[in-house]
């Protein structure tokens, strides 16, 4: 990271000095929000096209802006983009580089926009894409369980309550219970996508803008069903992130119960299943052991995902409308939960 500028070049004009080093460190989100680069750039391109279409900026400026943004996209993807902590976040890093590349036309991109609606649109796009990926992963998982259920439609096993052998069931029947659980997870993902499918772009800082922008145009260009309705809500809503974390936590909890069964069933005392070598570990001094590490990690990582949900709920619970910097804390929770 380079530290080229003395004070923040985006808003520091009336500040005599730059931020203290410790302030810069706590304030910067570029270390993690660079993950949003693709969404940030497509959001900016859509916004610039709308500004040109409505006559707010010239077509020539829009062309320069779009060309510059595409160059930046390539630089980031090639790993040659120089991120700076002094420029706080992905939005200002991209904007500053755009000014280097195309000069004064870059400044016109931020007309009728604020980082508040910008970050809201970026994160929504990211979470929506992630939800679509999770939906596909759940479909694959359900298909795998259906296959197993069919194979074991007549494989008798004990059914348990209180972990006491209760009544005979089949393993197929047991697998179908997971088909139901992951089926509900899938319906929760679809439901969440449906609700988050609104574009907050145009809410600007909080109260909209006096420029006559076309919010339907940017919503459509970015693949949203429609624009959001209330500008204050648009910049302060993080329900979509909370919903993602809740559905992730419920799904992880289901996976954790499965992991727990795998762990119990693979003990010599139960002996229901034998784990494959590729998903277990051993011990040099206790050669009789085959440790179910993969299942234990699934069970363990559930704590981490559930923790992110409680973490973001706690960040949001005390926040008055509208935006506050607290909300910058939404990203790492969402990113880590998605990756986990």
Q: Is 29 in the site for ligand ARG (CB under 6 A)?
A: yes
Do residues 219 and 201 make contact, with C-beta atoms less than 8 angstroms apart? yes
* Given 162, 210, 276, 278, the catalytic residue: 162
Smaller CB separation from ligand ARG, 89 or 95: 89
Q: Is 231 in the site for ligand ARG (CB under 6 A)?
A: no
Q: Parallel, antiparallel, or unpaired for β 164-170 and 198-199?
A: unpaired
∠ CA 33-39-44, rounded to 5° = 110
Q: Is 234 in the site for ligand ARG (CB under 6 A)?
A: no
**CA 112 – CA 211 distance, rounded (Å):** 6
Q: Is 115 in the site for ligand ARG (CB under 6 A)?
A: yes
- Among 112-120, 192-200, 248-256, 276-284, the segment contacting ligand ARG (CB under 6 A): 112-120
* Given 2, 58, 187, 283, the catalytic residue: 283
Q: Please provide residue 162's backbone torsions phi and psi, each rounded to the nearest 5 degrees.
A: 55, 25
Q: Is 33 in the site for ligand ARG (CB under 6 A)?
A: yes
Smaller CB separation from ligand ARG, 61 or 89: 89
Q: Which of 328, 335, 337, 338 binds ligand ARG (CB under 6 A)?
A: 328
CA distances to 174, 233, 261, 293 from 178, rounded to whole Å, are 7, 37, 12, 21
**CA 96 – CA 204 distance, rounded (Å):** 19
- Among 115-123, 126-134, 158-166, 237-245, the segment contacting ligand ARG (CB under 6 A): 115-123
Smaller CB separation from ligand ARG, 50 or 121: 121
Q: Hunting for tokens 């610039």 — which residue is that? A: 48
Number of H helices, E strands in the chain: 12, 4
Give yes or no: 283 in active site: yes
Q: Using alpha carbons, select from 145, 131, 130, 150 the residue that is nearest to residue 180.
A: 145
Give yes or no: 114 in active site: no
**CA 307 – CA 336 distance, rounded (Å):** 11
Q: Hunting for tokens 């034998």 — which residue is that? A: 274
**CA 61 – CA 241 distance, rounded (Å):** 34
Smaller CB separation from ligand ARG, 61 or 330: 330
**CA 139 – CA 4 distance, rounded (Å):** 48
Q: Is 48 in the site for ligand ARG (CB under 6 A)?
A: no
Closest approach, Cβ 33 to ligand ARG, in A, equals: 6
Q: Is 117 in the site for ligand ARG (CB under 6 A)?
A: no
Closest approach, Cβ 328 to ligand ARG, in A, equals: 4
Whole-angstrom distance between the N-terminal and C-terminal Cα of the chain? 27
CA distances to 185, 324, 328 from 135, rounded to whole Å, are 9, 31, 26
∠ CA 139-140-142, rounded to 5° = 65
Closest approach, Cβ 68 to ligand ARG, in A, equals: 21
Q: Using alpha carbons, select from 337, 289, 291 the residue that is nearest to residue 311.
A: 337
Q: Which of 112, 119, 138, 316 binds ligand ARG (CB under 6 A)?
A: 119
Q: Is 254 in the site for ligand ARG (CB under 6 A)?
A: no
Closest approach, Cβ 119 to ligand ARG, in A, equals: 4
Q: Is 266 in the site for ligand ARG (CB under 6 A)?
A: no
Closest approach, Cβ 158 to ligand ARG, in A, equals: 52
- Among 70-78, 125-133, 273-281, 323-331, the segment contacting ligand ARG (CB under 6 A): 323-331
Q: Is 327 in the site for ligand ARG (CB under 6 A)?
A: yes
Catalytic site positions: 162, 283
Task: Give the footprint of ligand ARG on this chain (CB under 6 A).
Answer: 29, 33, 89, 115-116, 119, 323, 327-328
């Amino acid at each position: 990271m380079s530290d080229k500028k003395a004070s923040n070049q985006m808003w520091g004009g009336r500040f005599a000095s730059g931020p203290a080093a410790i302030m810069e460190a706590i304030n910067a989100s570029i270390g993690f929000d660079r993950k949003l680069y693709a969404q940030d750039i497509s959001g900016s391109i859509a916004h610039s096209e709308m500004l040109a279409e409505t006559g707010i900026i010239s077509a020539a400026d829009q062309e320069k802006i779009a060309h510059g943004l595409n160059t930046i996209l390539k630089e980031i993807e090639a790993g040659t983009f120089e991120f700076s902590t002094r420029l706080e976040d992905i939005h200002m890093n991209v904007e500053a580089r755009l000014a280097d590349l195309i000069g004064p036309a870059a400044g016109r991109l931020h007309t009728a926009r604020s980082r508040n609606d910008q970050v809201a649109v970026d994160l929504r796009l990211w979470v929506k894409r992630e939800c679509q990926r999770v939906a596909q992963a759940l479909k694959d998982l359900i298909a795998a369980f259906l296959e197993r259920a069919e194979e074991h439609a007549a494989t008798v096993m004990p059914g348990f309550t209180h972990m006491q052998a209760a009544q005979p069931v089949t393993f197929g029947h047991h697998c179908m219970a997971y088909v139901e659980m992951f089926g509900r997870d899938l319906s929760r993902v679809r439901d969440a996508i449906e609700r988050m499918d609104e574009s907050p772009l145009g809410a600007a800082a909080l109260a909209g803008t006096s420029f006559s922008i076309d919010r339907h145009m940017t919503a459509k260009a970015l693949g949203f069903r429609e624009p959001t309705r209330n500008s204050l809500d648009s910049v302060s809503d993080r329900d979509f992130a909370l919903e993602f974390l809740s559905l992730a936590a419920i799904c992880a909890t289901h996976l954790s119960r499965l992991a727990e069964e795998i762990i119990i069933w693979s003990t010599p005392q139960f002996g229901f299943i034998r784990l494959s070598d590729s998903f277990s570990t051993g011990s040099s001094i206790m050669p009789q052991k085959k440790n179910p590490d993969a299942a234990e990690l699934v069970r363990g990582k559930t704590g981490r995902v559930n923790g992110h949900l409680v973490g973001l709920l706690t960040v949001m619970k005390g926040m008055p409308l509208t935006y506050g910097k607290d909300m910058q804390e939404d990203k790492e929770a969402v990113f880590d939960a998605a990756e986990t």
